[in-house]
Amino acid sequence: DTAVSQTPKYLVTQMGNDKSIKCEQNLGHDTMYWYKQDSKKFLKIMFSYNNKELIINETVPNRFSPKSPDKAHLNLHINSLELGDSAVYFCASSQDRETGGEETQYFGPGTRLLVL
């Protein structure tokens, strides 16, 4: 069973379009994250979210917005896509230690976004 899943796996789109990437975790975790891995393979946090708060990395453009319909999902919406948005986007989840978890982050397989 896949613990953290993302769809789609690949996404090719034109500049200016709006797109969404879905993330689901079946681990019962209470915190979810989005990371961006650039062409140099460097991973950087974009958002972290649980039912208490959303933490946004200040370097993330406001064209990016996370949406959580429920505890098991954290989708990433991107408006007005730009060439520089091309990257691999990873979703992750973890369980807080104060709620009995060990804080290990489990990652999805990634979504490879190419903006033309």
Partner 1 sequence: KQEVTQIPAALSVPEGENLVLNCSFTDSAIYNLQWFRQDPGKGLTSLLLIQSSQREQTSGRLNASLDKSSGRSTLYIAASQPGDSATYLCAVGLSTGSQGNLIFGKGTKLSVKP
Binding mask 51-70 for partner 1 (x = CB under 8 A): -xxxx-x-------------
Q: Round to whole Å and give the CA distance between 95 and 59.
A: 25
Q: How near is the Cβ of 94 to partner 1 at its closest, in Å? A: 6
Total residues interacting with partner 1, rule: CB under 8 A: 32
Binding mask 15-54 for partner 1 (x = CB under 8 A): ----------------x-x-x----xxxxxx--xxx-xxx
Q: How near is the Cβ of 25 to partner 1 at its closest, in Å? A: 13
What does the binding site for partner 1 look like in residue numbers (CB under 8 A)?
31, 33, 35, 40-45, 48-50, 52-55, 57, 90, 92, 94, 96-98, 102-110
